[in-house]
A and B are shown apart, each in its own frame.
Chain A
Amino acid sequence: MGALLQTLDVTKRFGGLSAVTALNMSVESGEIVGLIGPNGAGKTTSFNLITGVYKPTGGQILFDGRDITGLKPHAITRLGVARTFQNIRLFKDMSVLENVLVAQHMRMGANLFEATLRLPSYLRKEKRIHERARALLAEVGLAEHERARATSLPYGKQRRLEIARALATEPKLLFLDEPAAGMNPQESVDLMEFILKIRDQFRLTIVLIEHHMQVVMGVCKRMYVLDYGVTIAHGSPDEIRNDPKVIEAYLGVE
């Protein structure tokens, strides 16, 4: 009992290449956990395995006490797992508001029949999700942009919109894939505060991939280090900073 997410010996092989080997990760409710490692270490692959984009070659993934191994991504999202992407993947032909609305789609539970007849129940739901979407946009500071095209936003705001869109699926567990990528130091500090804020406000558990050491060390109490798909270290920021294996993976051997 206890862990919100637990992976047991999760492995992914692409042909002869083992992208992730025996990943054993355990995340408690309310934690912010970091996942770091050099490029190509298998961090994003791990995210893809847990969110159902890839099927694991072996191992088991437990979320909230349920076995979610091999479930389809939309089913896993419905259980309360959301994510953002390393290279922003907004629905670029839609407005900012629509991007959030689409993510609430599944919470709506309306069908085409209900929508076509515009039943009162439908209109009530419609109103409620619009209000919620606007509230989320206000939360991430994008309220005044709701009508803008998603891709017309500046980069930093697109990242925030992606987070708002993920929050719209009402997750318990949120995966952030390099949220600080391309940000300057000040933006990174703002982002750290933002991550802590949404964690408390939406009672989230967060797993974070990040290269910005300042950000990871700043918000994560615990982290896992991957190298060539293998978990080489795991512990508090201080432990990680002084772990010879981690130093070796990042800097090479003398």
Chain B
Amino acid sequence: MDLQTLLQQFVNALSLGSLYALLAIGYTMVYGVLRLINFAHGDVFMIGGYLAFYGVSLFAMPWWLAACLAVALTTLFGVGLERAAYRPLRDSPRISIMISAIGASFLIENLGIVLFDARPKAFAVPGPFAANHVIGGLHVAAVSLIIPVVTTVLLAILLWIVYRTKTGMAMRAVSTDIEAARLMAIDVDRIVSITFAIGSALAAIGGILWALKYPRLEPLMGIMPGLKCFIAAVVGGIGSIAGAVLGGLLLGVIELMTVAVLPGLTGYKDAFAFILLIAVLLVRPAGLLGKNQGEKV
């Protein structure tokens, strides 16, 4: 294989990895504050894609307006999901809230099938994203360049919120010790809502970018990326934002590079994600950037 193909695949891997990172951040943040794996996160991602689709196709909005509205509505959807399915179970055993998350996931998927129809829909990619550029002999889709840039900007904003604002400080306090945070007058419910809002907004943006890259929408399209991004978050060290980004990028690169280097194994590319999970967890049970901390006694 020549260098050019390798570079070509690397550009693709970078954009796929960035998408994974966007989604993985949502898992890691929710886990950080609530110690909950939000199994419905991949479905929130799907909702984002569909809402943008309907904005353009049904309401004939310009793509940017449809995208903004889709992100806003998906954010509300994510916050509503927490209110309805997770908050009432906050003080129940952790297994109950996990089951509720799995239930919410199935519910959203099946509602999607009923409301959006199970047949795939073609996502009309707007002009600026559909273009192909030739850079130094590489054929690069515009969207593959845009995705990493968008992800970088969003990540910068997120890190600023988490480490430079009072709200972010409260989020970190809640994630270290929810009980003590309450007694420092932090309104934990509000912080949890904000966390879900941020995670869902990122998932929605991820869903729209995904639809631009792979312009085919299905109600079940969130399952596989959701599962992989959960893996990315765990591999990176769940609870750590940097870990989620690292895990996402790593997963994207490994997935596409296997295809590039060993084309015969293309059919198994998803399996590599899971092999990666097992391998990393065997060596570092807390993930690459996770702190190895036992349960508090």
* Contacts from A to B (Cβ < 8 Å): 51-53, 72-74, 77-78, 82-83, 85, 89-94, 98, 101-103, 105-106, 108, 110, 112, 115-116, 165, 168-169
What are 16 A-B residue pairs whose CB atoms fall within 8 Å in the complex?
A73-B183, A74-B187, A90-B180, A91-B172, A94-B172, A102-B170, A102-B172, A105-B169, A105-B170, A106-B184, A106-B185, A110-B166, A112-B161, A115-B165, A168-B184, A169-B185
Contact across chains for B183 and A94 when beta carbons are under 8 A apart: no
**Contact pick for A92, options B169, B176, B185, CB 8 Å:** B176
Contact across chains for B165 and A53 when beta carbons are under 8 A apart: no
Contact across chains for A105 and B184 when beta carbons are under 8 A apart: yes
Scan residues 154-178 of chain B and give those whose CB is less than 8 A from a CB of chain A: 161, 165-167, 169-170, 172-173, 176-177
| Nearest opposing residue in chain B for A94, CB measure | B172
Contact across chains for A103 and B172 when beta carbons are under 8 A apart: no
Check A74/B172 contact, CB under 8 A, given A108-B166, A115-B166: no
Q: Measured between alpha carbons, how far is A131 from B170 in the docked complex, in Å?
A: 19
Which residues from chain A contact B170 at a C-beta distance below 8 Å? 102, 105
Instruction: Mark each residue of chain B from 199 to 238: 1 if its CB lies under 8 Å from any CB of chain A, else 0.
Output: 0000000000000000000000000000000000000000
Judged by a CB distance under 8 angstroms, whether B182 is at the interface is: yes
Which residues from chain A contact B281 at a C-beta distance below 8 Å? none
Distance in Å: Cβ of B222 to nearest Cβ of chain A: 28
Contact across chains for A105 and B182 when beta carbons are under 8 A apart: no
Check A85/B180 contact, CB under 8 A, given A101-B169, A102-B173: yes
The 3 closest A-B pairs by CB, nearest first: A77-B185, A73-B182, A106-B185
Which residues from chain A contact B176 at a C-beta distance below 8 Å? 91-94
* Contacts from B to A (Cβ < 8 Å): 161, 165-167, 169-170, 172-173, 176-177, 179-188, 194
List 9 extra interface pairs beyond A77-B182, A108-B166, CB under 8 A: A51-B183, A53-B179, A74-B186, A85-B180, A89-B179, A91-B173, A92-B176, A93-B176, A105-B169
Q: Measured between alpha carbons, how far is A98 from B181 in the docked complex, in Å?
A: 13
Which residues from chain B contact A168 at a C-beta distance below 8 Å? 184
Q: Measured between alpha carbons, how far is A102 from B184 in the docked complex, in Å?
A: 8
Contact across chains for A169 and B184 when beta carbons are under 8 A apart: yes
| Most chain A beta carbons < 10 A, residue from B172, B185, B187 | B185
**Contact pick for A83, options B169, B173, B181, B183, CB 8 Å:** B183
Which residues from chain B contact A106 at a C-beta distance below 8 Å? 184-187
Distance in Å: Cβ of A244 to nearest Cβ of chain B: 37
Which residues from chain A contact B185 at a C-beta distance below 8 Å? 74, 77-78, 103, 105-106, 169
Distance in Å: Cβ of A114 to nearest Cβ of chain B: 10
Which residues from chain A contact B182 at a C-beta distance below 8 Å? 52-53, 72-74, 77
Distance in Å: Cβ of A123 to nearest Cβ of chain B: 13
Contact across chains for B186 and A105 when beta carbons are under 8 A apart: yes
Check A53/B169 contact, CB under 8 A, given A74-B188, A89-B177: no
Q: Measured between alpha carbons, how far is A168 from B184 in the docked complex, in Å?
A: 9
Q: Measured between alpha carbons, how far is A105 from B167 in the docked complex, in Å?
A: 8
| Most chain A beta carbons < 10 A, residue from B169, B179, B184 | B184
Which residues from chain B contact A94 at a C-beta distance below 8 Å? 169, 172-173, 176
Which residues from chain B contact A73 at a C-beta distance below 8 Å? 179, 182-183
Check A112/B167 contact, CB under 8 A, given A102-B184, A106-B185: yes
Distance in Å: Cβ of A17 to nearest Cβ of chain B: 19
Contact across chains for B166 and A103 when beta carbons are under 8 A apart: no
Contact across chains for A53 and B184 when beta carbons are under 8 A apart: no
Q: Measured between alpha carbons, how far is A115 from B181 in the docked complex, in Å?
A: 21
| Nearest opposing residue in chain A for B179, CB measure | A53
Q: Measured between alpha carbons, how far is A77 from B177 in the docked complex, in Å?
A: 16
Q: Measured between alpha carbons, how far is A82 from B186 in the docked complex, in Å?
A: 12
Which residues from chain A contact B187 at a C-beta distance below 8 Å? 74, 106
Which residues from chain B contact A103 at a C-beta distance below 8 Å? 184-185
Contact across chains for B172 and A77 when beta carbons are under 8 A apart: no
| Nearest opposing residue in chain A for B176, CB measure | A91
| Nearest opposing residue in chain A for B187, CB measure | A74
Distance in Å: Cβ of A53 to nearest Cβ of chain B: 7
Distance in Å: Cβ of A86 to nearest Cβ of chain B: 12
Contact across chains for B167 and A91 when beta carbons are under 8 A apart: no
Which residues from chain B contact A165 at a C-beta distance below 8 Å? 184
Which residues from chain B contact A52 at a C-beta distance below 8 Å? 182
Q: Measured between alpha carbons, how far is A98 from B170 in the docked complex, in Å?
A: 10
Which residues from chain B contact A116 at a C-beta distance below 8 Å? 165
Distance in Å: Cβ of B153 to nearest Cβ of chain A: 14
Check A93/B172 contact, CB under 8 A, given A108-B166, A115-B166, A115-B167: yes
Which residues from chain B contact A83 at a C-beta distance below 8 Å? 183
Distance in Å: Cβ of B193 to nearest Cβ of chain A: 12
Distance in Å: Cβ of B296 to nearest Cβ of chain A: 9
